Amino acid sequence: MILVRQLLNDKGNAIYSVAPDAPVLAAIRTMAEHNVGALLVLRDGVIVGMVSERDYTRKIILKGRSSADTPVSDIMSSPVITVSSADSVGHCMHVCTRSHVRHLPVIDDGEIVGVLSIGDLVKAVISEQAEEIEQLQRYIAG
C-alpha cells in the first residue's frame, strides 16, 4: 500500500497558489506556467479555496465572464477537501471519487506539504499493480 508521503517524495512537493482577490487570468497564467491544472487559493498562508481549469471553463468561459475582471474568489471551489501524508493512495482515490474532485492538498499538522492530482494517484496505482503482477509471474515461474 503506497502512502501519500511516498508519492510526494517521488513527485516533489511544489505548491502553487494564488490570492483570492487576484484576477482569474493571473491564475490561468500561473497554471500554464507551471503546467498544473489547479492552484490553491491562499489568504495569509491559509487555504480558502481551490481554483482549477474546470472552474475556469464552467464559470468563466461558459458564462461569458471576463477572466481579467473576475476575482478568483468568485469561481474557486470551497471548502477544500484535504488528505494527510499518512493516508493511502486507495483512500485518496476514494475521496476523489466520492467528492468529485481531481486535486487534493496534503496537510500535516496544519501545514501544506503538497498537492496530489488524480493523475498522480492513477499513476501510483498502475505502478503498484505492475509490481504485483511481476511478483506473481516470478512466483508462478519459480
Which one-letter DSSP state was computed for residue 14? -
Q: Are 55 and 77 in contact (CB under 8 A)?
A: yes
79 SS3 class = coil
Domain range for residue 120?
A: 4-141
Q: Assign residue 14 the CATH number of its domain.
A: 3.10.580.10
Percentage of the chain surpassing pLDDT 70? 100
Amino acid 102: pLDDT = 95
The pLDDT of residue 49 is above 90: yes
Q: Are 33 and 80 in contact (CB under 8 A)?
A: no
Domains identified in the chain, total number: 1
CA distance 112 to 84: 9
The predicted-structure confidence for 99-126, as pLDDT tens digits, reads as follows: 999 999 999 999 999 999 999 999 999 9
Burial (Cβ within 10 Å: 0-12, 13-18, ≥19) of residue 83: buried
The pLDDT of residue 127 is above 90: no
The pLDDT of residue 133 is above 90: no
Mean pLDDT along residues 25-38: 96
Share the mean pLDDT of the chain. 94
